[in-house]
Amino acid sequence: MKTKIKTRKIGDVILTGEVSPCVWMYGTPFQIQVHMGDQKDLNNGGNIIMQDKALNNDTYTEMDIVRLLAMVRIQKCKNPDCHNNAFQSDHGGNRQGECKKCFTTKLQAEFEAEQKKENAKIARRDKQMKRKGMVVRVEAWVHPEEGGDDYMVDIYYPSQPTPAEIEAALRDKGSEVFSDYRMVAL
């Protein structure tokens, strides 16, 4: 049986290359997931995928793991206030030279800004619907009977709806689940 994990050390950084499970489970082209870490935590620096599409589960060797792992380069995070290591930006991915911490902090801030905008939009719509005499917003997930992605809907009511009324509204929208909702008083 082939070894599926190899390590490489660059200074204090430990890179661990592991054959991605999709290679042997689903027959995808050969790839390894490379984790960056240190002695305390082998994955504190995040991970990237390195591929060789000319190979698959039947054709790769342990030396292919070593070869792909040897291609991985690290750099200091591009954030001038940070001293963490990052994967070199030419390895692809969406971090573009940022370390895991800086990238996730930026991503969280972007998410929170978008969430704040969405909450303000909902608050404006709730206020408008309240002026029209609505007293409850039902925030529900529609789980389509014919499959596909679930999606959220807001349904406004002029009085407290019964579970049967909510079920009827969700049935009209094609949902096969009728209990995935919450009521919000306006």
Of 149 and 94, which is predicted with more confidence? 149
Do residues 143 and 99 both lie within one domain?
Answer: no
Domain that holds residue 21: 5-104
pLDDT the model gives residue 165: 97
Residue of 157, 162, 153 whose CA lies nearest to 186:
157
> Half-sphere exposure (CA, 13 Å, Cβ side) for 119?
6
| pLDDT for res 2 | 67
Give the rounded percent of residues in the chain with a pLDDT score beyond 70: 96
User: 21-66, pLDDT tens digit by residue?
Assistant: 999 999 999 999 999 998 887 778 889 999 999 999 999 999 999 9
Cα(156)–Cα(161) distance, integer angstroms? 9
How many structural domains are present in the chain? 2
Q: Are residues 22 and 79 in the same domain?
A: yes
The reply to whether 80 and 34 lie within a common domain is: yes
- Let me know if residue 116 belongs to a domain: no
Question: Could you tell me if 11 and 100 lie in one domain?
Answer: yes
* Residue 115 resides in a domain: no
Q: Is the pLDDT of residue 92 over 80?
A: no
Domain presence at residue 11: yes
Q: Please check whether residue 114 lies inside any domain of the structure.
A: no
Rg, the chain, Cα only: 25
Q: What is the pLDDT of residues 99-158, one digit of tens each?
A: 999 999 999 999 999 999 999 999 999 999 999 999 999 999 999 988 889 999 999 999
